[in-house]
Amino acid sequence: MQATDASGASRKTVLSVRGVNVSFGSNTVLKDLDLDVYRGEILGFIGPSGTGKSVLMRTVLKLLPRQSGKVWILGHDYENVSDAERMALDMRLGVLFQQGALFSSLTVRENIQVPMREYLDLPQSLMDELTMLKIEMVGLAPQAADRYPSELSGGMIKRAALARALALDPDLVFLDEPTSGLDPIGAAEFDELIARLRDTLGLTVYMVTHDLDSLFSVCDRIAVLGDKKVKAQGTIEEMLAFDDEWIQSYFHGKRARSIVRKDGQPNRAGADAGTMNG
């Protein structure tokens, strides 16, 4: 699908959400929500706690039902595809859930091979080879392959979970708060890794985050959830100038001061130094 942005440039849409409504009983979480994610971008998805960022990600992935609305992924109506098309589409998506969600009884190698076993029919030797490539790609030492999640640090768990999300060479990856729980240096390194993978693999990244550093240092665009819909989307510069109380206090509040300059422009040096997190 092609879309035209505000500058008139044509961009390929890899995820398109239109008019999505999600309620749990009388609790309406998302109402008439629209969102586009473009090929090759890193989109940061933010919003106050409990407003439905995870619900949207899970709804898009069909892990939660929606009452109405449409979701197109990589040009396909995700609701109306055959089982075979759905499987082919699922292989092009990678997901990193909050806390990593690795299987605790499996080693890192076995965790990474779960999607390979589910979707591919490969000899064990080839799976082992591919696994070691993924491990290297996310910056883990080869010895990490035989460790169990309980033997890994928080940062290693995130990297292992990312390696699993990349197991099938996806086009689009969903990351739910990938840097939460990491110290500022670990978080900055993880951001760099995501940016590098986007550049080298041509990934499109949909990232739910609370991390101001990530927004400033790696996100190309930001979408803000509020009032049950996407109430603003654009570049960091556009967000800094956006006339909305929550967005202003988010980007100009106490936490943000070291990464937003007095003139309201992003202080890239401050962001790169990884001085803020969480």
CB of 143 to ligand ATP, least distance (A): 33
The residue type at 37: V
Give the list of residues 6+ apart from residue 108 with CB closer than 8 angstroms, or none: 102, 135, 140, 144, 145, 146, 147, 148, 149, 152, 160, 163
Number of residues assigned to the chain: 278
User: According to the binding rule CB under 6 A, does residue 35 interact with ligand ATP?
Assistant: no
**Residue 165 or residue 224: which is nearer to ligand ATP going by CB?**
224
**Residue 59 or residue 107: which is nearer to ligand ATP going by CB?**
59
CB of 47 to ligand ATP, least distance (A): 6
SS3 10: strand
User: According to the binding rule CB under 6 A, does residue 17 interact with ligand ATP?
Assistant: no
User: According to the binding rule CB under 6 A, does residue 24 interact with ligand ATP?
Assistant: yes
The residue type at 74: L
Nearest C-alpha neighbor of 178 from the set 34, 45, 39, 30: 45
User: According to the binding rule CB under 6 A, does residue 16 interact with ligand ATP?
Assistant: no
CB of 254 to ligand ATP, least distance (A): 19
User: According to the binding rule CB under 6 A, does residue 123 interact with ligand ATP?
Assistant: no
**Residue 109 or residue 158: which is nearer to ligand ATP going by CB?**
158
The answer to whether the beta carbons of residues 261 and 267 sit under 8 Å apart is yes
Token pair belonging to 109: 């190698």
User: According to the binding rule CB under 6 A, does residue 30 interact with ligand ATP?
Assistant: no
The answer to whether the beta carbons of residues 68 and 44 sit under 8 Å apart is no
CB of 183 to ligand ATP, least distance (A): 20
**What is the C-alpha separation between 64 and 150, in angstroms, rounded?**
29
Size of the site for ligand ATP (CB under 6 A): 10
User: According to the binding rule CB under 6 A, does residue 29 interact with ligand ATP?
Assistant: yes
User: According to the binding rule CB under 6 A, does residue 155 interact with ligand ATP?
Assistant: no
Angle between the N-to-C axes of helices 108-119 and 154-165, in degrees from 0 to 180, rounded to the nearest 10? 20
Site string for ligand ATP, 38-77 (x = CB under 6 A): ---------x-xxxxxxx----------------------
**Residue 47 or residue 170: which is nearer to ligand ATP going by CB?**
47
**What is the C-alpha separation between 97 and 164, in angstroms, rounded?**
11
Q: Residue numbers of the site for ligand ATP (CB under 6 A)?
A: 24, 29, 47, 49-55
